[in-house]
C-alpha cells in the first residue's frame, strides 16, 4: 500500500535498484474510467471475511444493493473492502463505480488512483490521480503519489517537473527532495541525485529509504567509505521515514477492523519462542475463519520449527489454494524443504518466490544456498551476486560470497565481503560472521587479526548463548594461541 510512510519507504528501497538501472515497468495504457456504465457490484461471500467485521461488510453491501446508483454508498463500500483486504480487487471495482457515478468527487478518484498504483497499474493510476488533483490541486498526498506513479511508469520528465515544483513551494519537504533524487538517479545524474538525497536526509535524519538511495549512489560513484556510512545509517533507521499526513486514507484506516490483534498476539508468542502456544493461537483464528491465509503461512514456519512437517505441509497447501500468488507462502515452504534437506524442492520453492516477486528480500540468497548445497557453486555465486546488487545490506549474501572466496584462496576479496557482513548483519548472526572472518585472516597468515576477531566471536557467541559455536571458536583459539609468537 501507499498508505503509510513505512510502506512507501520499503517499496522504494526494494525497487530503487531497478530505477538506477533505468528499468521501465511494462504497463497497459488505460484511460481513466470512460465506460458508459459502472462495473458490476462485486460479489461477496461473508464467510470470506473475519467474523468481527462481517456485520459491517454486510451493512455496507446491502446499502449499495438497495441504492446501486448512490456514489457515496459505493465509495464507502470500497473503503470497507480496502480496510479489510487492500490486495482484493473488490475495492477497485467499488471505487470505480463511485467515480463513474460522481466523476467530480475528488475522494473516489483519489482512492481509485491509490488502489490502482498498489496493483501496479501506474498509467491508469496517473489518470485518476490527475482527476483528483483537478478537484483539489493543493492535496499533497495526491501530488506525491502522482509523482511516484509517473516515475514508476518511466515518465521521468513529468515526475521531475512535479517534484521540482513541490521542492520549490516547500524547500523543507523531504518527500519532494526524495522524489527528485529518484528522478535524477533514474536519469544517471548521480551528483544531482546525491545532492537531493542528502537534502532529504538533512531534513529528516532517520529517512531510511533516502539513506539507502544515497548509499547506492555513492556505490556507483566509487566512494566506498560514504557508501558504508549511508548503508549503516539506512540499517539503523529501521525503515523509518518522515511523517506523511493523508487525511483521506486515514479515513480508510479508521475502518480497519481486521483480526489483526489476534494475528499480532500470535506473532508475539512466536517471537518470544513460545511456539506451541503461537501455533494454538493461529489455529484458533483459523477455526473462526479458515480462509485467513496469513495464519496458514505463519503455521508453515511454526510447525516446521516444531518438527511437525506434515502439519506444516497441510497449511502450505491450504495457503496456496487461498492465494497462489503469495511469495511468503512459497518462501516458508522453501525453508521447510531446506530443513528436511530436500534441497531440490526447496530450490523450486525459492524460484517460485522470485518468479512472483523478483525483489523478494533474501530470495536470491536462499536460492543460492540451495544451489550450493546441490554442488552448483557457480550458479550459487550468481544468485548471491544478484542479492547484493538488489540489497547491498544483505549480510547473509555478503557472508556467503566471502566464505566462498576464502575457500577458493581469494583471501583479500573474501575478507572484504566478510567485513561487510559483520557490519551489517543481525546481532545473533554476527558471532558466526566474526568467526569466519577470524578464520579467513588465519588462512591469509594474519594471526594478529585472526586472534582479534576470533576472540570477539567467542564473546558474542557466549553473550547469545550459542554454546556449540563457542566451543568451536574456543578450540580454534586455543590452537592459534599456542603457536609461537601469538600475542
> pLDDT digits over 138-154, tens only?
899 999 999 999 998 88
Distance CA 100, CA 74 (A): 10
Q: Where among 218, 237, 256 does a domain terminate?
A: 237
* 56: CB partners within 8 A, 6+ apart: 80, 255, 257
In a domain, 204, yes or no: yes
Banded model confidence at residue 133, pLDDT cuts 50, 70, 90:
very high
pLDDT of the residue at 199: 96
**Which grid coordinates are listed for 260?**
489483526
Kindly report the CA angle at 194 between 193 and 196, in degrees rounded to 5? 65
CATH code of residue 414: 1.25.40.10
In a domain, 205, yes or no: yes
Residue 184 backbone dihedrals phi, psi, to 5 degrees? -65, -40
Q: How far is CA 268 from CA 271, 298, 306, in A?
A: 5, 12, 17
* Residue 483 φ/ψ region, left for φ over 0, alpha for ψ in the -120 to 50 degree band, beta for the rest: beta
Average pLDDT, the chain: 85
In a domain, 304, yes or no: no
- Asked if residue 258 has pLDDT above 70, the reply is no
Q: Where among 237, 269, 297 does a domain terminate?
A: 237
- Asked if residue 90 has pLDDT above 50, the reply is yes
- Asked if residue 22 has pLDDT above 60, the reply is no
Pick from 69, 150, 141: nearest CA to 111: 141
Rg of the Cα atoms in the chain = 25
pLDDT of the residue at 225: 93
Digit-coded pLDDT (tens) for 231-248: 889 888 767 888 877 888
Q: Where among 220, 237, 254 does a domain terminate?
A: 237
Banded model confidence at residue 426, pLDDT cuts 50, 70, 90:
confident
**Contacts made by residues 448-453, CB under 8 angstroms, sequence distance 24+:** 448/487, 450/480, 451/477, 451/480, 451/481, 451/486, 451/487
Mean pLDDT of 350-367: 89
Pick from 77, 81, 134: nearest CA to 110: 134
Three-state SS across the chain? CCCCHHHHHHHHHHHHHHHHCCCCCCCCCCCCCCCCCCCCCCCCCHHHCCHHHHHHHHHHHHHHHHCCCCHHHHHHHHHHHHHHCCCCHHHHHHHHHHHHHCCCCHHHHHHHHHHHHHCCCHHHHHHHHHHHHHHCCCCHHHHHHHHHHHHHCCCHHHHHHHHHHHHHHCCCCHHHHHHHHHHHHHCCCHHHHHHHHHHHHHHCCCCHHHHHHHHHHHHHHCCHHHHHHHHHHHHHHCCCCCCCCCHHHHHHHCCCCCCHHHHHHHHHHHHCCCHHHHHHHHHHHHHHCCCCHHHHHHHHHHHHHCCCHHHHHHHHHHHHHHCCCCHHHHHHHHHHHHHCCCHHHHHHHHHHHHHHCCCCCCHHHHHHHHHHHCCCHHHHHHHHHHHHHHCCCCHHHHHHHHHHHHHCCCHHHHHHHHHHHHHHCCCCCHHHHHHHHHHHHHHCCCHHHHHHHHHHHHHHHHHCCCHHHHHHHHHHHHHHHCCCCCC
- Mean pLDDT is lowest, of 29-43, 231-245, 350-364, 471-485, for 29-43
Banded model confidence at residue 487, pLDDT cuts 50, 70, 90:
low
In a domain, 277, yes or no: no
Distance CA 6, CA 468 (A): 38
Q: Cell 489518470 sits at which residue?
A: 127
In a domain, 62, yes or no: no
Number of domains in the chain: 2
In a domain, 20, yes or no: yes
In a domain, 61, yes or no: no
pLDDT of the residue at 259: 47
Higher pLDDT, 21 or 436: 436
* Residue 53 φ/ψ region, left for φ over 0, alpha for ψ in the -120 to 50 degree band, beta for the rest: alpha
pTM of the model: 0.51
| Helical packing angle, 377-390 and 5-20, nearest 10° | 120
In a domain, 244, yes or no: no
Q: How far is CA 113 from CA 24, 124, 446, 482, in A?
A: 20, 7, 59, 69
Banded model confidence at residue 87, pLDDT cuts 50, 70, 90:
low
Provide the domain limits for residue 165: 5-33+103-237
- Mean pLDDT is lowest, of 72-76, 188-192, 196-200, 241-245, for 241-245
Mean pLDDT: which of 47-56, 366-375, 425-434, 459-468 is highest? 366-375
| Helical packing angle, 5-20 and 174-186, nearest 10° | 20
Amino acid at each position: 500500500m501507499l498508505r503509510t510512510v513505512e510502506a512507501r519507504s520499503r517499496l522504494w528501497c526494494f525497487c530503487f535498484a531497478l530505477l538506477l538501472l533505468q528499468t521501465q515497468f511494462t504497463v497497459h495504457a488505460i484511460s481513466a474510467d470512460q465506460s458508459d456504465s459502472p462495473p458490476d457490484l462485486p460479489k461477496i461471500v461473508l464467510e470470506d471475511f473475519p467474523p468481527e467485521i462481517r456485520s459491517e461488510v454486510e451493512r455496507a453491501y446491502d446499502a449499495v444493493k438497495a441504492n446501486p446508483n448512490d456514489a457515496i454508498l459505493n465509495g464507502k463500500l470500497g473503503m470497507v473492502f480496502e480496510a479489510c483486504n487492500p490486495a482484493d480487487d473488490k475495492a477497485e471495482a467499488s471505487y470505480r463505480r463511485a467515480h463513474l457515478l460522481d466523476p467530480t468527487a475528488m475522494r473516489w478518484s483519489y482512492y481509485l488512483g491509490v488502489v490502482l498504483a498498489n496493483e501496479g497499474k501506474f498509467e491508469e493510476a496517473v489518470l485518476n490521480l490527475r482527476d483528483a488533483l483537478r478537484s483539489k490541486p493543493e492535496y499533497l498526498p495526491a501530488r506525491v503519489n502522482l509523482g511516484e506513479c509517473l516515475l514508476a511508469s518511466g515518465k521521468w520528465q513529468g515526475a521531475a517537473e512535479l517534484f521540482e515544483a513541490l521542492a520549490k513551494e516547500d524547500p523543507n519537504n523531504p518527500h519532494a527532495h526524495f522524489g527528485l533524487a529518484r528522478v535524477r538517479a533514474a536519469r544517471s545524474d548521480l551528483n544531482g541525485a546525491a545532492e537531493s538525497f542528502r537534502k532529504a536526509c538533512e531534513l529528516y535524519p532517520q529517512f531510511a529509504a533516502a539513506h539507502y538511495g544515497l548509499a547506492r549512489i555513492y556505490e556507483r560513484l566509487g566512494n566506498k567509505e560514504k557508501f558504508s556510512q549511508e548503508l549503516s545509517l539506512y540499517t539503523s533507521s529501521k525503515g523509518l521515514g518522515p511523517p506523511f499526513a493523508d487525511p483521506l486514507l486515514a479515513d480508510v484506516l479508521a475502518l480497519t477492523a481486521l483480526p489483526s490483534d489476534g494475528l499480532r498476539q500470535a506473532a508475539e508468542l512466536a517471537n518470544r519462542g513460545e511456539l506451541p502456544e503461537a501455533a494454538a493461537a493461529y489455529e484458533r483464528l483459523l477455526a473462526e475463519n479458515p480462509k485467513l491465509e496469513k495464519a496458514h503461512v505463519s503455521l508453515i514456519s511454526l510447525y516446521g520449527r516444531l518438527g511437525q512437517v506434515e502439519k506444516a505441509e497441510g497449511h502450505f497447501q491450504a495457503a496456496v489454494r487461498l492465494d497462489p500468488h503469495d511469495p511468503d507462502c512459497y518462501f516458508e515452504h522453501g525453508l521447510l524443504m531446506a530443513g528436511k534437506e530436500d534441497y531440490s524442492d526447496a530450490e523450486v520453492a525459492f524460484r517460485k518466490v522470485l518468479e512472483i516477486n523478483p525483489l523478494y528480500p533474501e530470495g536470491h540468497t536462499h536460492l543460492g544456498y540451495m544451489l550450493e548445497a546441490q554442488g552448483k557453486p557457480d550458479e550459487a555465486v550468481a544468485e548471491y551476486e544478484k542479492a547484493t546488487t538488489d540489497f547491498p545490506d544483505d549480510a547473509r549474501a555478503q557472508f556467503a560470497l566471502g566464505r566462498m572466496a576464502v575457500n577458493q584462496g581469494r583471501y583479500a576479496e573474501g575478507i572484504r565481503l566478510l567485513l561487510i557482513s559483520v557490519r551489517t548483519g543481525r546481532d545473533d548472526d554476527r558471532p558466526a560472521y566474526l568467526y569466519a572472518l577470524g578464520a579467513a585472516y588465519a588462512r591469509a597468515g594474519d594471526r594478529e587479526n585472526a586472534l582479534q576477531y576470533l576472540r570477539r566471536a567467542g564473546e558474542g557467541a557466549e553473550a547469545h548463548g550459542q554454546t556449540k559455536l563457542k566451543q568451536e571458536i574456543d578450540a580454534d583459539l586455543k590452537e592459534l594461541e599456542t603457536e609461537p609468537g601469538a600475542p
